[in-house]
Amino acid sequence: MCSIGEEDFDDEGGAHTMIADEESRTNLLPNVLETNNCYKCGSSGAIYKLTFRQAECSDCFLLYARHKFRAALGSAKILPNGAKVMLLFDGSAESVVLLDMLHYAQSQGHFKRLRCSVIVLYVDELALIFDEAIELGGTETFLKTMQLFLASYKEFQSYIVPFLKNEEDVARSICQFSEIDVKYLKRDVIGEQKFVECIDQIQNLTSRQDFVKHQRSKLIARAAKHFNCQFTFKADISTILASDLLTAICLGRGITAALDVNLIDSRLNDGIKLVRPLRNLSRLEIDLYLKARSLKSLQCHYYGDKETNGSLQNLTRSFIDNLQTSFSSTVSTVYRTGDKIATEDGLSSNVENMGVNTCSFCCSILNSKYNSATLLAVEFSRLVSAKSNTSAKSFLNFNSHMQFNVLGEAEGTQQISRLCHACCNIYRDVTKKSWFLQK
């Protein structure tokens, strides 16, 4: 039974019952100690101390972190021998750790080796993030720095692809990192510029960031198909997934929110599976891994981070980060709650079973299939507001066609009848409707 009585809830809504971490607790946060001995092997030197774990040396800590990576893949048993894997690399600390862990796993002995072939792909979104006024030399320097870093992992072939929409253009634009001076930096960027101009015409930052996220997923699926890879590894950790879960719910994607935090996301086209093997690692464990391996992350950029205007994505991420500083269990609570969310039995968002049940843009399950009363009420309110001069009697037959209206009939067109609620919101904010719907 809950021990909080009604008298505990005043005008603050019970917020006073939540006790923030004391200032002295910051001294108990995980850190690198110099005077302790490892509790496992007894060695001295730099000792790594995680919350709820004994102090351990760098070798024991690396063994612990790598075990979490292997355990995530081993428990799901999704990676067959000889599988082709495409690793998404963006220069962030998380992607550097994932790259290093995969390299280590493939350098082990016969019985411990991870038997798969790996290629590395970087999706170049710098044209989307920086305008023409920004120093072009800075982007070239960034790409060459990444080229040198990836060259140190010579066992993996590395590729780069610009952020494009057309599937044929994506396949033609993929280039090896070793050839960026010869081919990539001298490419024709007219197609990219037109694509960026279309994205900039989306009315608000929330819709633009949502569009870019799902368009990136479509591009990743096309690239994976080009390389004949059935698995794509993405370096999402618990902090990122907690923010993504709340963002999906805020955007009206709650029906597939579980797939945003699951180990495997099967919404990509052509049966490509997106795998998150670092989902159980925290941000601190990532930072300590970099220190233990003497690695450095690259300065990565994400679309919308530098915008002065707020968006649901930016505000949610800021909310999670700020709350985590005072309540250290915030991320784990939100993230583990997402693990408990599941879709109904027999309903799959796998594109192989797409049929008529999934959104044509994001490949999520269509909301109207479940007759959502909330979405129907929102659609009815929006339709009435759009036709305020029409007699209320003209809406008496709305109930009999609610499902179709939610799918787009209320817009006066059947072209968006295959879009989910969240993608319909993007569609409404797009200036060129036909551009959004074309593949």
pLDDT in tens, 372-424: 677 777 777 777 776 655 555 555 455 444 444 444 444 445 556 778 888 88
Residue 194, CA distances (Å) to 133, 165, 304, 436 in order:
16, 10, 18, 13
Q: What is the pTM of this model?
A: 0.82
For range 190-210, the mean pLDDT = 86
156: in domain: yes
Examine the domain organization and report whether 366 and 250 are in the same domain: no
pLDDT in tens, 7-29: 443 444 444 444 444 443 344 34
Residue with tokens 């939540």: 18
Structure tokens at 170: 């994506």
Residues 375 and 412 in one domain: yes
Q: Which residue bears the tokens 């067109």?
A: 413
Amino acid 361: pLDDT: 86
Q: What percent of the chain has pLDDT over 70?
A: 76
Dihedrals phi, psi of 389, to nearest 5 degrees: -85, -5
Please tell me the distance from the alpha carbon of residue 117 to that of residue 86, in angstroms, as a whole number.
9
Are residues 167 and 270 both part of a single domain?
Answer: yes
367 pLDDT exceeds 50?
Answer: yes
Is 295 part of a structural domain of the chain?
yes
394 located within any domain: no
Q: What is the total residue count of the chain? A: 439
Residue 394 has a pLDDT of 52
Q: Is residue 10 part of a domain?
A: no
Which residue type, as a one-letter code, is found at position 302?
Y
Query: How big is the chain by its Cα radius of gyration, in Å?
Result: 24
CB neighbour list of residue 118: distance below 8 Å, 6 or more residues apart:
85, 86, 87, 102, 106, 156
Interval 154-179 mean pLDDT: 86
Q: How many structural domains does the chain have?
A: 2
Instruction: Name residues whose C-beta falls within 8 Å of residue 254's C-beta, 6 or more positions apart in sequence.
Output: 248
- Of 237 and 350, more confident: 237
Handedness of CA 410, 416, 421, 425 (dihedral sign): negative
CA distance 150 to 327: 37
Asked if the model's pLDDT at residue 124 lies above 70, the reply is yes
Which pLDDT tens digit goes with each residue over 414-434?
556 778 888 888 888 888 777
The range of the structural domain enclosing residue 329 comes to 58-340
165 and 283 share a domain?
Answer: yes
188 and 85, same domain (yes or no) = yes
Q: How many CB atoms lie within 10 A of CB 5?
A: 7
Q: 3-state DSSP call for residue 156?
A: coil
93 and 158 fall within a common domain: yes
pLDDT at 242 > cutoff 60: yes
At residue 27, what are phi and psi to the nearest 5 degrees? -75, -15
Are residues 105 and 196 located together in one domain of the fold?
yes
The distance from CA 333 to its chain's CA centroid, rounded to whole angstroms, is: 19
- 13, part of any domain: no
Q: Which amino acid is present at 142? A: F
List, for residues 256-281, the tens digit of each pLDDT value.
Answer: 888 888 899 988 888 899 999 999 99
Provide the pLDDT confidence category of residue 309 given band limits of 50, 70 and 90: low
Q: Which spans in 82-125 are helix H? A: 93-106
Looking at the structure, do residues 335 and 361 belong to the same domain, yes or no? no
Residue 274 corresponds to which amino acid? L
